[in-house]
Amino acid sequence: MYIVRSTTILAFSILLVGTSSLYAQSDLDANVTKSLSGEEIGSNADQFVLRLGFNRLSHNENSFTPYWSSLEVGYDFFLDMPFGPEMSPSKFSLAIGGGVQWNNYFHNGRFVHDSTGLAFQETADFRNQDSVRRSKLGVTYFNIPIELRFRSQPKGNGLAFKWALGWQAGFKIRSHQKEVRNENGNYQVFRTNRYRDLNFLRTGPTARIGIGALNIQGFYSLTGLFKKDRGPSMTPWSVSLFISAF
Phi-psi region of 125 (alpha: psi -120 to 50; beta: other; left: phi over 0): left
- Specify the pLDDT at position 202: 97
Going from N- to C-terminal start, the domains of the chain cover: 1-37, 42-243
* 42-46, 76-80, 176-180, range with the lowest pLDDT: 42-46
Q: Which position has the higher pLDDT, 209 or 113?
A: 209
CA dist 226 and 238 (Å) reads 17
- Specify the pLDDT at position 43: 53
- Specify the pLDDT at position 42: 47
Average pLDDT of span 12-21: 45
How far the first Cα of the chain sits from its last, in Å, is 69
Angle (CA) 205 211 213, round 5°: 85
- Distinct helix (H) and strand (E) counts, the chain: 1, 11
Query: What are the two backbone dihedrals, phi and then psi, of residue 171, each rounded to the nearest 5 degrees?
Result: -110, 125
pLDDT digits 0-9 by tens, 99-153? 999 999 998 888 887 777 888 877 877 767 777 878 899 999 999 999 999 999 8
Can you give the C-alpha Rg of the chain in angstroms? 30
Average pLDDT of span 86-110: 90
Q: Which position has the higher pLDDT, 229 or 94?
A: 94
Given a cut of 60, whether residue 182 has pLDDT beyond it is yes
- Specify the pLDDT at position 162: 93
- Specify the pLDDT at position 245: 64
Q: In the predicted model, what is the mean pLDDT of the chain?
A: 81
- Specify the pLDDT at position 58: 92
Task: List, as own/partner pairs, every contact residues 228-231 make where C-beta atoms lie below 8 angstroms and the sequence separation is at least 24, other chains included.
Answer: 229/116, 229/117, 230/116, 230/117, 230/118, 230/197, 231/111, 231/117, 231/118, 231/119, 231/197, 231/198
Q: Band of the pLDDT at 44, cuts 50, 70, 90?
A: low
- Specify the pLDDT at position 217: 96
Q: Band of the pLDDT at 14, cuts 50, 70, 90?
A: very low
CA dist 161 and 245 (Å) reads 12
pLDDT digits 0-9 by tens, 157-167? 778 899 999 99
Q: Which residues contact 49 (CB under 8 A, 6 or more apart)?
A: 75, 76, 77, 78, 97, 99, 242, 243, 244, 245, 246
Q: Answer for the pair 41, 85: CB distance below 8 angstroms, yes or no.
A: no
Q: What is the DSSP letter of 239?
A: E
Q: Answer for the pair 83, 92: CB distance below 8 angstroms, yes or no.
A: yes
- Specify the pLDDT at position 34: 40
